[in-house]
Amino acid sequence: MNENTQPPLLIIQTGLPPEPVSNRHGTFSCMIREAAGLRAGDIEIVAVHQGAQLRPPSSYRAAIITGSPAMVTDLADWSERTADWIRRAVDLGLPILGICYGHQLLAHALGGRVDFHPRGREVGTQTVELLPAAGDVPLLAGLPSHFPAHLIHQQSVMEVPAGATVLARSDHDAHQIVQYGDGVISSQYHPEFCPDIMGTYLTHFGPRLGEEGFDVQALSTRLRPAPEARELLLRFVRQHAAMREAA
């Protein structure tokens, strides 16, 4: 069978990085594609935040939902339409990976609660701790119990939906990785980020972060690679979304 007949991996683009970030590193979809080693022919990008329409979930082999500067609690029309699509996709059994906004939108769509974190923003390279339940999840098997990850978010999943399993936490956020059945999983951190991308964010948001009480220089000093965090994305692509070679 020709590989072009295989359903594509869907990337649901829910927003764009700030211009200084996108000018240097590309869109969230570009970052995901580069980090996961995906080819252009492997994927279909649908910019839902710009009004683009998703095809039925059965049209895709798996989906990744990107980050966004938007807030889930704004209940924007495009976001609520995407939440409805997510519910249909989960019912169909489509494998889904949610990242940052995608992590929050999954929880919102499936009955959880998202809101601004009472302790404010989480930003920079921070430590994620796997919980005991992660030991039974192939996408996380063999990872160390604590590993660095890149984060920047103001809202969080404050309450997970019924039936969801929390797999990881950080000192700031109790719900860093959440699983919904075998094929649906999400992370508050950005597995597609590298220290250079995170550093560009810190530079761009530096004045605002300073006003919020962050030591931007200290955050910059603590930047480091996060290969273990990236494994979630890499393994998801290998397990659910990698295109098969032509027969």
Q: Which two tokens stand for residue 216?
A: 């931007």
Neighbours of 181 (CB within 10 A): 13
For the chain, how many helices (H) and strands (E)? 7, 11
100 catalytic? Reply is yes
From 108, 175, 190, 240, the catalytic residue? 190
> Do the bridges between strand 96-99 and strand 9-13 make them parallel or antiparallel, or are there none, so unpaired?
unpaired
Catalytic member of 25, 49, 150, 192: 192
Whether 150 is catalytic is no
Which of 180, 32, 175 is closest to 93 using CA atoms?
A: 180
Catalytic residue among 25, 49, 100, 240: 100
Backbone angles phi, psi at 171, to 5 degrees: -60, -30
For 233, half-sphere exposure in the C-beta direction (CA atoms, 13 angstrom radius) is: 31
Asked if 44 is an active-site residue, the reply is no
Q: Would you say 29 and 9 are in contact if contact means Cβ atoms under 8 Å apart?
A: no
Torsion, CA 25, CA 204, CA 185, CA 105, rounded to 10: -120
Helices (H), ranges, the chain: 19-25, 28-36, 77-92, 101-109, 195-211, 216-221, 227-236
Active site residues: 100, 190, 192
